[in-house]
Amino acid sequence: MTAPLLKVEDLSKSYVDPKGRRVEALRGVSFEIAPGEVLGVVGESGCGKTTLGRTIMRLMEPDTGRIWLCGEDFAAKSGAALKAARREVQMVFQDPFGSLNPRHSVGAIIAEPLIVHGRLGARERVAELLDLVGLPPDAGARYPHEFSGGQRQRIAIARALALSPKLIIADEPVSALDVSIQSQILNLIADLRERLGLAMLFISHDLSVIRHVSDRIAVMKDGLIVEIGPAARVFEAPEHPYARSLLASMPRLPDA
């Protein structure tokens, strides 16, 4: 077996909510992601799936636990070493309206990670990325408000890909989109995986989307992974009682 791209060991995170209550968002979460693999994380609101993504990105600091990225201790890094390691892991958020700066042109938004990391040839790279995500070449000179929700999510994906990361953490990337647009973005994600060999941590509450994109699936409940395994196995023969009841509540569609 190849060495894991990401290895998370016993990750815990608690915080105090606005009402002063202690919330244990993660209670000892461990898993691995292989290079090029998509791990789907599914669970209901409050299960800790968003905290998991943010903690791995180190947008939040974990209380305990280790995060190994490409064999190095990502959780222990700081300063220049953290900045360098961050090139390998990028994030796509749910809200394509809130995650793009409305005052920056699309070209500037996509170029920002390149400039922050001192890469040369940002202009050419932006043109390449626009093409990669299926946006017209003139999109770079326009502003986010000129684009629809689906196109904005393409912009957010182009920005995440700018530094050629090995891992993308996508938190509900298609949940705000209409069905017809959602499938366009799911196809784009599949294309990018194939062309770039990307690994993903794909977080969603939507069971059918998770089933569609994932190689393996982790079911979260109350800050714990209650079940993890190959996607088909978890879907067809869930073992944990919660995983079973979650899957049973999925709306059933009539056969074709």
Partner 1 sequence: MSAGVARPVPAQPVPAAPVLSVENLSLAVGPLALVEDVSFDIRPGEMLGLVGESGCGKSVTALSILRLLPEPPIRIASGRILFGERDLAALPLDRMQPLRGREIGMIFQEPMTSLNPVFTIGRQIAEPLRLHLGLGRSAALVRAAELLDLVGLPEPRAALDRYPHQLSGGQRQRAMIAIAIACEPKLLIADEPTTALDVTVQAQVLELISRLRREMGLACLLITHDLGVVAQICERALVMYAGRIVEEAPVLELFRQPRHRYTRALVDTIPARNRPGARLPAIPGQVPAPGARGEGCPFEPRCAAPVSRCGPERPPLAGPWPHRAACWNPAA
Residues at the site binding partner 1, with contacts judged by CB under 8 A: 44-45, 148, 150, 178-181, 183-184, 186-187, 190, 205, 207-209, 211-213, 231-232, 245-246, 249-256
Q: Which two tokens stand for residue 247?
A: 């899957």
Cβ atoms of 214 and 190 closer than 8 Å: no
User: Cβ of residue 149: shortest distance to partner 1, in angstroms?
Assistant: 8
Q: Which is nearer to partner 1, 2 or 180 (CB)?
A: 180
Q: Which residue, 43 or 113, has its beta carbon nearer to partner 1?
A: 43
Nearest approach, Cβ of residue 44 and partner 1 (Å): 4
Closest contact distance (angstroms) between CB of 101 and partner 1 is 23
Please, what is the minimum distance in Å from the beta carbon of residue 160 to partner 1? 21
Closer Cβ to partner 1, 181 or 196, answer by number: 181
Strand order in the sheet with 22-33: 22-33, 6-16, 64-69, 72-73
Burial string for 183-204 (b: 16+ CB within 10 Å, else e) reads ebbbebbeebbeeeebbbbbbb
> Is 82 or 250 the residue whose CB approaches partner 1 more closely?
250
Q: What is the spatial distance between Cα 186 and Cα 244, in angstroms, rounded to a whole number?
A: 25
- Specify the residue, 99 or 182, whose C-beta has the smaller distance to partner 1: 182
Q: Which alpha helices (DSSP H) does the chain contain, by range?
A: 49-56, 79-86, 106-116, 122-132, 149-161, 179-196, 207-213, 231-236, 241-248
The nearest distance, CB 240 to partner 1, in angstroms, is: 14
